[in-house]
Amino acid sequence: QASDLAGVDGPATLLAKARGGSVVFDEVADFDDDTQARVVRMLDILGDNAPRIMATSQGDLAALMDQGKFRQDLYYRLGGVSLTVPALRDRVDDIPLLAEHFLARGERDLGTLRRLSREALELVRAYSWPGNVRQLENALRRLLVTASEAEIARSEVEQVLGKMPVAEPRIGVGFGDGEKLSASVARHLKRYFDLHGGQLPPPGVYHRILRELELPLIEIALDATAGNQAKCADLLGINRNTLRKKITELDIHVARRRKLM
């Protein structure tokens, strides 16, 4: 934590305590200028048997550096090896395993045996977990204490999670029949290539395929927003002028759109 670096001797004291081990700076993107400077000074005095230095960040450090909000020298000192860990909401299949692990740890530490009911686990899987694994761990630790029975009910999970957002449906997860969007697209693309009898399709296939995908995507988004281009652009996550340009290029008619949802 930043507080471990406080004081004139803070960096040296931290290194002495961690010698032969590891020092992990959590969420370095949130460190103020003074704390960043202290970390740099600490890294400058690393000696023999120095601890391994690691840092975590949910923010884009390169972007913060370009904006002058993160020190360039610290960025390159910490950036020897970078590992990108997907957000927990993008690793839904990991959630039951993590939940089981945290509940087992709670049983060991607190002597409390708990398990998630099927309905509770469904809610835990659907939740967006903006705080990632740490938020999941904290939620389960609270449930270990607050749950009234050995099997944790969905209502008890709802109380702990409060009114935080539930994850939106994710492209690529799957349709009702279990087929992923990527698999469906791949199947159609393979059929397109097979139609050329072992020969390559004409050059420019990348842009032709993108156009084929863009057209129904924009039309369906316009239907969903009843032809409101501002809402449609926001839904698609693109600039309104970009949407207008696409509508013209793809010859999409926007009048009298029927709202789908």
What's the CATH number where 225 sits?
1.10.10.60
Phi, psi of 152 (to 5 degrees): -75, 125
Q: What's the mean pLDDT in 148-169?
A: 77
My answer on whether 68 and 97 are in the same domain is no
User: By percentage, how much of the chain surpasses pLDDT 70?
Assistant: 85
Residue 168 in domain: no
The answer to whether residues 72 and 98 belong to one domain is no
Is residue 228 situated within a structural domain? Answer: yes
Say how many domains are in the chain: 3
The pair of structure tokens assigned to 27 is 């969420």
Q: What is the pLDDT of residue 171?
A: 44
Assess if residue 150 is contained within a domain. yes
> Is the pLDDT assigned to residue 203 strictly greater than 70?
yes
Query: Is 114 among the domain residues?
Result: yes
List pLDDT tens digits, range 122-133: 989 988 888 888
Domain, as residue range, for 69:
2-78
Per-residue pLDDT tens over the stretch 18-42: 777 888 888 888 888 988 988 888 8
Task: Assess whether pLDDT exceeds 50 at residue 81.
Answer: yes
Contacts of 121 (CB under 8 A, 6+ apart): 96, 99
In a domain, 175, yes or no: no
Kindly state whether residues 102 and 126 are assigned to the same domain. yes
Least confident of 15-19, 42-46, 233-237: 15-19
Q: 146 and 105 share a domain? A: yes
pLDDT at 196: 76
Q: How far is CA 223 from CA 67, 231, 254, in A?
A: 39, 11, 9
Proportion of the chain above pLDDT 90, given as a percent: 21
DSSP 2: G
Final residue belonging to a domain, choices 78, 105, 129: 78
Instruction: Work out the pLDDT band at 7, boundaries 50, 70, 90.
Output: low
| Terminal C-alpha separation, the chain | 47
pLDDT at residue 164, rounded to an integer: 55
Q: How confident is the model at residue 79 (pLDDT cuts 50, 70, 90)?
A: confident
pTM reported for the whole predicted model: 0.49
Between 219 and 182, the more confident residue is 219
Q: Quote the pLDDT of residue 2.
A: 54
Whether residues 23 and 56 fall in one domain: yes
Alpha-carbon distance of 189 to 46, in angstroms, equals 54
Rounded average pLDDT over 155-167:
74
For residues 97 and 133, membership in a common domain is answered with: yes
In a domain, 179, yes or no: no
Among 27, 51, 78, give the residue marking a domain's end: 78
Q: What is the mean pLDDT of residues 140-146?
A: 91
74 and 6 co-located in one domain: yes
* Residue that is last in its domain, among 53, 78, 103: 78
Furthest-apart CA atoms within the chain: distance in Å: 74
Better-predicted residue by pLDDT, 171 or 88: 88
Residues 6 and 44 in one domain: yes
At 213, the pLDDT band (50, 70, 90 cuts) reads confident
Q: What is the mean pLDDT of residues 61-81?
A: 87
Per-residue pLDDT of 162-185, as tens digits, reads 755 554 444 444 444 445 677 777
